[in-house]
Amino acid sequence: MRRWAYGAADGDWSGLLQMLDPDVTFHVPVAEFAGVRHGAAEAARFFGHLSPTLRAQLDVTGTLADGDRVAFEVSVRGSWHGQPLTQALCLVFVVDGHRIREFREYLAWPGGLENAG
């Protein structure tokens, strides 16, 4: 989770990408990547898409674990395409040792919320 947070903060996702299984399966709620995707190269393409547009601080508010699955409830504050972003999400990872075999992202507020002031 720390490596995901580092990537969101500075746009350098290389630490997270190093943890991905070459055959990783993932689903994220981003229009350009709708549906289930496969492979570390496709994940690198996704995170490359985020690099220039997302800057955010992620704070873990809860952690859930069940065998090889770990979920993190996260609050997000930052910017997306230069606009303020505040949202909550849940990131679910399926791990095998130190490799991420699968990840999924669920947004509590798709598209974020407008800044309340």
Residue extents of the structural domains in the chain: 2-107
Residue 116 — pLDDT band, cuts 50, 70, 90?
very low
Q: Which CATH class is domain 2-107?
A: alpha beta
pLDDT reading at 110 higher than 90: no
pTM reported for the whole predicted model: 0.86
**Beta pairing, strands 37-38 & 20-27:** antiparallel
Query: Is the pLDDT assigned to residue 59 strictly greater than 70?
Result: yes
CA triple 12-83-85, angle to 5 deg: 75
Residue 117 CA to residue 102 CA, distance in Å, equals 37
